[in-house]
Structure 1
């Protein structure tokens, strides 16, 4: 099996491809990891050697008969097919591993379905979106995350509650909705009671909104932004330094970082809608109430779609954060 993904990228899709490859290998299958970061027009965060993958060019030169699992959403999916070419793809089974964030699917996705033998998706939410668009098999293959060796055991030891949100500026700023997380944090805590870290990838992908967000963060005491690319060890340290993961997203295809935070033992305060609801029954998961509202997107992948997404109740999120602080401080005593 050849798994094509943006292995040298730090994106959520890249991490999904890595988790998929790890799972297939644990099941005893031979896996070829093929890096398609460049073909997807993404910025690499690691070298090819560090990624553990081979280049697309090297893979094509091998001319191996194998199943292709392509971790790329349309229209990047189309770019990968174009690079591979009809001759290479002839008689090969093609599986698309796709993650979409809305209940309405754009035309470019519907068009791409014709090139697939099967579709795999990370959550029931994505499956429900794609099912009406195809008579092909749509299978939920959730991200399999191994329980980390280190877990959070002590919270707010110095009396300060630390919150975290990780997001990519290339993944639709409005959808990730960090402004809501910032506002909930501001409402919940007095200066000195808590700290909030925003770990931001690819700020250059939407630099205008990043600068606006940076300016907004500067107005709230205790808030910091981190843009450095982290390896697995540093990412683990980041999770373990914090007590609460806060995601007031408007929609998620899965919500990988929310799931990771829960596995590390953090409390996760997250919008109670979309892909993350597949695992929000875990201990320390706190679903935030929401209202479905009409999505207004004037650019990007969501442009022109008549769809709804969730507007998290910021006041309710703030109340949950305050309650958790009180509980964590009591437990620490």
Structure 2
């Protein structure tokens, strides 16, 4: 530890994650809700995957996209929380330089993949509501597979430059990261060289990719709402809108904290650091917990299947 705090290194072999500076005395207490959230996220997303896999009636595009979302959420939460808990419980703050860059890559890559999956789910709802007779011919299993592959390739290709650029900088001042995980800007801001490229590239990806995703989702739901309001009866409008409400809730829980924490890190220098770190953790941990709950409660087929599994086992 003493060597890692000195300023005579060019590239550190390790980084030191401080957790939540200023709240060290409360780390154990903070870990309790975080650990609970993680447990619920694991249980909920694994349940979604199991239910969809075992029920042939759920082998449809909507549920395939939901499985992609569940896998993404599992990777996102697992890439951060185990190390976070080791900091809170055992004061194990050291993380290898390459492991830090790997964690950075997984967080940003799978966040982008999740954003793309939300776009795909919005497309699925658009086709199902606006052109229902062509839904099965447009969103075939092959098309769904290609969309999933495209989202994965997009995330990998666009995010790979971030850890690559970060690995090129010289970290000659400190290797202490005031955070619970290796967030992109929290790492590169430690460099003693000009990080303009990293800063602008990360901001461009955020605004262009996630911004375009939000625009595509907004366009889809504008058309969906127009189709809903053109339905003849109020009951039909409410029933159709109910099929979209879970997706809208999941979108809000993902995009709002993501945009908030990204902009705070670049522009909100007056925001208290503990508050910023807590928001950044909420962005990564709360959506993976809420998504299976939202879809499990709001989607009749999944809810009924889960209830059937429990009642069937009891009998």
- TM (normalized to structure 2)? 0.25
Larger radius of gyration: 2
Q: Whose helix fraction is larger, Structure 1's or Structure 2's?
A: 2
